[in-house]
Structure 1
Amino acid sequence: MRLREALLTGILCLYSPASSTPAKHSWTIGQTVYTQGGPVSGHAASSAKNVSTYLGIPYAKPPIGDLRFAPPQGYYNHKPIDGSKFGHSCPQANVFGGSTPPNTKGKNLTAAGLAALVDLNFGYADSSEDCLTLNVWTKPQFGEKGKAVLIWVYGGGYTIGSSSDPIYDGQYIADQEDVVLVTFNYRLNIFGFPGAPGYHKNLGILDQRLAIEWVRDNIRAFGGDPKRISLFGQSAGGGSIDMYSFAYADDPIAAGLVLESGTTAIGTFTAETTAESWYTVTSTLGCGDNTTVPATQMACMRTKPSENITNAIPLVNQAYGSAFFWPTIDEEIAFSDYPARLAAGKFAKVPLLIGNTNYEAGYHRAIASVFDQYLSDAEWDGFNLVSFTCPAATRSAASVAAGLPTFRYRYFGNFPELALTTVPDSGAYHASEVLPIFDTVGAGSGGAEVSGDLVRMGIYLRGMMGMFARDPAEGLVKYGWPKYDVKGETLVRLGWENGVGPNPGVADVYDADCP
């Protein structure tokens, strides 16, 4: 702890991401906050004792009964809300397909690699359809009266994930950066992206929109500024935010967007493809097939226990489980012509921070190995380009062309305590920056001791997020970052040689093989 505090002081003095002499305001830690859903009681965070924590706040009615497979409806009430514990995780299928456990012998997995396997199943046991809740971390007694707000959107391939995962603990960002940090649950898999013909397809994105609207309407009571809300998310979380930027281009609510290793390139299905998966599940449950009247079929599906529904999803052993239910093209939330929309600038006109890790495949490769699935080095390199590097290049270029403040990075941090495998080297893999950003390395590294280099990296990354949140257009410029241009040394190489600070490079070095 002393090492972390000393490094924090040194780095904050160097980059000044937050006020060094915070003003004091009237606020009692954990005091009751009044929201549209009722008064919420909070408590002090477990480590950052100046941070008030409010967990499990409902932002929507439970999506059960006639609200299963339906758009979310806002939650309005006057009953007290106990904010002492997280809400349920949303239902999700077993990522390991319910088959024999993955084979970890001889796979060269480290403690962090084994922890990553455990995390893939986090939240499965405590799941419930009554899961549309959010969490808030704040310390209004210090600093700005109207603080910038960061809303986290978790990843997991639209198939797994939960805001209660310990790696997304918001207390450390809120404490260091004097921002309000919000996380929330959204429906996943068949419950979030059902593809039922004649019904709304992208319920998970609608959940996200409703949660963001809740933040806009209620965050002032927690000390937040509803005009300075930024969204940040990783993998499918970044993809969700990118999708959101097109769906709500004229009213994004957010003042800034952060896409970490995720764009619309993560994927959408056609309505026909998702319908086939839907009929596979309905047939298994005795609710009919493509010849059944949709209303009759839906009525049947709304009577089935959620566990039966998740168990009926076809099982595939892969990094994010059975990807049979993803965002579906409906030309309202998910579109079929993203390249054309990018070229025409049909997305939210707000500042953008976007990037990816240097070797995204390091994660997928490690997980695939435990299922004895192997690709060549060239194939993994192609996966990196097609899924992450090139989409980030295209999206950032479109943002620049639209005249928006744009910042692009490539993350190189490769720390021994976070390595997933020893051979091959997992490198700066997919999601390897998430633990340092949240300062939750202990929750995801298998208990490894954290080095000074990694502590410094985390402090710097949280500062990066704080600077962007407080001033999306110019904050990172004050942090020493160049605004991105497709030419010149404007791609920030984060964690270059495991050091902190911006290390600009030329994007073409990494984008050369992009179409």
Structure 2
Amino acid sequence: MTTPAATDTTDRLVARTTAGAVRGRREQDLTVFRGIPFAAPPVGDARFQAPRPPHPWDGIRDAYAFGPPPPQEAGFQGRAGILDAPTGDDWLTVNVWTPDTEPDPSAARPVMVWIHGGAYKLGHSGSPGYDAQHLARAGDLVVVTLNYRVGIEGFARIEGAPANRGLLDQVAALEWVRDNITAFGGDPGRVTVFGESAGAGSVAALLVMPSARGLFGRAIAQSVPGTYFSEELARDLASAIAAEAGLRPTAADLAAVDPRTLPEAGAALSAKMARRVDRWGQVAPTVTPFSPVVDGEILPTTPWEALAAGAARDVELIVGHNAQEYRLFPVLGGLRGKVTEEQATAVLRLFAPGGGAEGEEAYRSAFPDADAGELYERVQSDWLFHIPSLHLAEAQVAGGGRAHVYELTWPAPGAGGTLGACHGLDIPLLFGTYAADLGNLLFAGAEVTDEARALTALFQRSWTSFARTGDPGWPAYDAQRRLVQVLDAQPEVRPYPEEASRRLWEGHGFPPLPLPLVDKGAGAGDGDGSCRSGEA
């Protein structure tokens, strides 16, 4: 709601943006603003188009509640992850946590901008796991979180619409930060963008997108997925999604369907993807028909290629991953401890560098003591997260930039201690949200120990120090020493721990995934979906 402009405009809870004034709430020692539009609702004639400036408003708009989530599937593994979310078309909003002090341009604070993950098809900045209050306090800085279009609305490659609309939304949010964050006590010249999983893949893309240049000076990418689509793959997947709805893959056809029901078509395709390795290759078992598209314009090339050529040498970078990234997915799917040799062989031949029997043999030789389940997890952890993250750092260094690398090895205490340092564990540790969203599983039935709290303090200290100074507290990565920060009960700086995997993947460039990547008969079948991979 808005209140008349005559309301006390000297109120410290009021900030003036280019579209109008907003009023936040004081929450202990912070002022928090929620649901501020950074773009117009992408509906009507704006549907499937690049984001447009927000509609201005008169008076003072109450910024008390998170904006509605963009249309999306029901949730990861059946978990909605969106609590107390409003409805409506104002999907493109930002939220701001700022220390509660008098605005003073000479004391403007660093700004951290969070991009959530969710396989490019799920997620909402209002999810409790992304509550940024602890991070803002720990670093005495301004934290911004944002919504962006996901799934069909944001990433399907359809006729009559620009590619990568979800990434364009993120650029628009960063432009909003540039133009407005001074009113919230932030310094637009000291912006760090950070994200996890699909959010980290977005950060990697933003590093090399011409439209994002100059909008941030530092970046943190947590568990970068290696999946970027070629035009051919993206268009074929979009055709299959549209076919599920009985439509053509065009903006005109899809815009005739309610945006809240259209995700059903994407979910229907996801349920079938794992059986179509013959058609879609390596992306099929991910059951995720969305990723950034290397379209040659909005995203000119892959992040690895562009960084190696120096595209972001002036941006300081942290990048890293968790030790047992993929383990989350077999645990959630009830496959942990039940992987057969046939299933291990299928994924080794599909995902190992070189592919086929040669790729399988390389992994079995590198890990001679690993059983079927360990090989199943290892190759998918490496292909999907470990090596893309490491190679992003190596590309940045090769291009003349600086990168700091980490690996989280502390195991999640939930699920009977079976999860290890799995995918997503860094989120509750970073935000201190142990009992929210994925933290409900990762810490289920376990006490939040002093070890966990110490790791949270280390995460927050390192991330906010980097945002403030560019130094997270450990040495930059180089091709000779390969030093990384290992985050565990006893943190240490040491050479990259996954050396066997690093050697296996040396020289692999992570090109855009083609259509198809794997020929029929290459060793990974299209039968029972036993190659099912995870969601980024």
1:509 to 499, 521, 525: 499
Contact 1:493–1:505 (CA<8 Å) still a contact in 2?
Answer: no
Indicate the larger mover: 171-180 or 363-372. Answer: 363-372
Find the aligned partners of 1:124 and 1:118 in 2 and give their Cα distance.
17
The 1:280–1:399 alpha-carbon spacing in structure 2 relative to 1, beyond 3 Å, is: closer
Contact 2:43–2:89 (CA<8 Å) still a contact in 1?
Answer: yes
Find the aligned partners of 1:507 and 1:28 in 2 and give their Cα distance.
54
Deviation at 1:132, TM superposition (A): 0.3
Q: Which runs of 5+ in 2 are unaligned?
A: 1-8, 275-283, 344-372, 507-536
TM-score (norm 2): 0.76
Percent identical: 29
Deviation at 1:487, TM superposition (A): 2.1
Q: Which runs of 5+ in 1 are unaligned?
A: 1-26, 97-116, 291-296
Contact 2:160–2:251 (CA<8 Å) still a contact in 1?
Answer: no
1:220 to 172, 179, 182: 182
Residue in 2 that maps onto 1:491: 484
Q: Deviations over 1:96-134 (max 9, x none)?
A: 7xxxxxxxxxxxxxxxxxxxx564543697555431001
Residue in 1 that maps onto 2:424: 431
SS at match of 1:197: coil
Q: Write the letter of the residue equivalent to 1:146.
A: A
Find the aligned partners of 2:228 and 2:83 in 1 and give their Cα distance.
25
Contact 1:232–1:238 (CA<8 Å) still a contact in 2?
Answer: yes
Kindly report which structure 2 residues correspond to 1:150-229, keeping only aligned pairs within 5 A, or say none. 150-229=112-191
Q: Write the letter of the residue equivalent to 1:73.
A: R
SS at match of 1:316: helix
Deviation at 1:300, TM superposition (A): 3.6
SS at match of 2:204: helix
Indicate the larger mover: 147-156 or 356-365. Answer: 356-365
2:37 to 28, 50, 58: 58
Q: Write the letter of the residue equivalent to 2:408.
A: Y
The 1:467–1:302 alpha-carbon spacing in structure 2 relative to 1, beyond 3 Å, is: same
Residue in 1 that maps onto 2:23: 41
Residue in 1 that maps onto 2:67: 87
Contact 2:37–2:90 (CA<8 Å) still a contact in 1?
Answer: no
Residue in 2 that maps onto 1:409: 406
Deviation at 1:38, TM superposition (A): 1.2
Deviation at 1:309, TM superposition (A): 1.3
Find the aligned partners of 1:415 and 1:303 in 2 and give their Cα distance.
45
Residue in 1 that maps onto 2:298: 333
Deviation at 1:198, TM superposition (A): 3.9
Deviation at 1:380, TM superposition (A): 1.2
Deviation at 1:389, TM superposition (A): 2.1
The 1:348–1:403 alpha-carbon spacing in structure 2 relative to 1, beyond 3 Å, is: closer
TM-score (norm 1): 0.79
SS at match of 1:306: coil
Alpha-carbon RMSD across the aligned residues, in angstroms, is 2.9
Deviation at 1:268, TM superposition (A): 2.2
Contact 1:120–1:320 (CA<8 Å) still a contact in 2?
Answer: no
Instruction: Provide the aligned length of Structure 1 versus Structure 2.
Output: 445
2:451 to 450, 453, 457: 453
Find the aligned partners of 2:11 and 2:476 in 1 and give their Cα distance.
38
Residue in 1 that maps onto 2:251: 298
Residue in 2 that maps onto 1:316: 270
Residue in 1 that maps onto 2:82: 122
Find the aligned partners of 1:44 and 1:66 in 2 and give their Cα distance.
38
Q: Deviations over 1:222-248 (max 9, x none)?
A: 100000000010011011010111113
Residue in 1 that maps onto 2:309: 344
Deviation at 1:463, TM superposition (A): 0.6
Find the aligned partners of 1:238 and 1:385 in 2 and give their Cα distance.
16
Find the aligned partners of 1:298 and 1:357 in 2 and give their Cα distance.
38
Deviation at 1:285, TM superposition (A): 4.1
The 1:172–1:338 alpha-carbon spacing in structure 2 relative to 1, beyond 3 Å, is: closer
2:378 to 377, 381, 399: 381
Find the aligned partners of 2:503 and 2:458 in 1 and give their Cα distance.
29
Q: Deviations over 1:323-350 (max 9, x none)?
A: 2232222112334555543432233521
Deviation at 1:284, TM superposition (A): 4.6
Deviation at 1:135, TM superposition (A): 0.2
